[in-house]
């Protein structure tokens, strides 16, 4: 598997699947989530509502992932995953690692070959960037998956540098 880094906006990416840093309600929010729903259009939210009604009445649990259409985005699917909120020095990295593993598992089920990820949990959920980059890169490298390209789409220089440093 090839791992690539891009600085930019995940909603501009062309890939089989774009991963959304969602919340358990699946009903949208700020950051990546807001941008994906804004640009992707109402079909994504309609599928999210249907998923809540059928499978996730109590919300999508932290660390899990589920796919919908990508609406008007340049992708076939959006994979929604719920990162953990950072809880301070003794935060458990496992739920964040699980977001990457579960998103790749869903991508495999779909047959997605290229998957773009944002830096999950590093915005509203306050996970420190260097630690998040370590968890993201190490988990993706260790994953057993048929995905051929994982692309990390980093919004700013700091995030890009943290991921580049971990990849080196």
Q: Which residues are catalytically annotated?
A: 33
**One character per residue 148-167, x = contact with ligand AR6 (rule: CB under 6 A):** -----x-x---x--------
> Is residue 140 close enough to count as binding ligand AR6 by CB under 6 A?
no
Work out which of 4, 9, 72, 74 binds ligand AR6, going by CB under 6 A.
Answer: 9
If one counts every other C-beta atom within 10 angstroms of the C-beta of residue 78, the result is 26
37 within 8 A of 138, measured Cβ to Cβ:
no
Rounded Cα distance between 65 and 67, Å, is 7
Half-sphere exposure of 44 (CA within 13 A, CB side): 28
Q: Which of 15, 18, 22, 104 binds ligand AR6 (CB under 6 A)?
A: 22
Interacting residue with ligand AR6 among 40, 63, 83, 95 (CB under 6 A):
83
H or E element, residue 79: strand 77-82
Minimum Å distance from CB 124 to ligand AR6? 4
Chain centroid, CA 128 distance in Å: 16
**From candidates 15, 18, 26, 35, binder to ligand AR6 by CB under 6 A:** 35
- Determine the Cα–Cα distance for residues 28 and 21; give it in Å rounded to an integer: 10
Helix (H, G, I), strand (E, B) or coil at 165: helix
| Residues between 112 and 131 that touch ligand AR6 (CB under 6 A) | 118-125
Residue 103 binds ligand AR6 (CB under 6 A): no
Q: Which stretch binds ligand AR6 (CB under 6 A): 30-38, 53-61, 71-79, 103-111?
A: 30-38
Beta bridge partners of 21: 81
Quote the least distance from Cβ 18 to ligand AR6, whole Å.
9
Say if residues 100 and 64 touch (Cβ distance below 8 Å).
no
Q: Which residues bind ligand AR6 (CB under 6 A)?
A: 9-11, 21-23, 29-33, 35, 83, 118-125, 153, 155, 159
């Amino acid at each position: 598997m090839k791992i690539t880094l891009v600085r930019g906006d995940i909603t501009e990416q062309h890939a089989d699947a774009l991963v959304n840093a969602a919340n358990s309600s699946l009903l949208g929010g700020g950051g990546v989530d807001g941008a994906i729903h804004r640009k992707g259009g109402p079909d994504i939210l309609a599928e999210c509502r249907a998923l809540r009604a059928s499978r996730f009445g109590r919300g999508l649990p932290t660390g899990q992932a589920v796919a919908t259409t990508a609406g008007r985005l340049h992708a076939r699917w959006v994979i929604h995953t719920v990162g953990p909120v950072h809880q301070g020095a003794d935060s458990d990295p496992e739920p964040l690692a699980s977001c990457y593993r579960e998103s790749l598992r869903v991508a495999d089920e779909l047959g997605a070959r290229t998957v773009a990820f944002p830096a999950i949990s590093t915005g509203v959920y306050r996970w420190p960037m260097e630690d998040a980059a370590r968890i993201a890169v190490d988990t993706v490298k260790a994953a057993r998956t048929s995905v051929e390209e994982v692309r990390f789409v980093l919004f700013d220089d700091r995030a890009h540098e943290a991921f580049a440093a971990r990849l080196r």
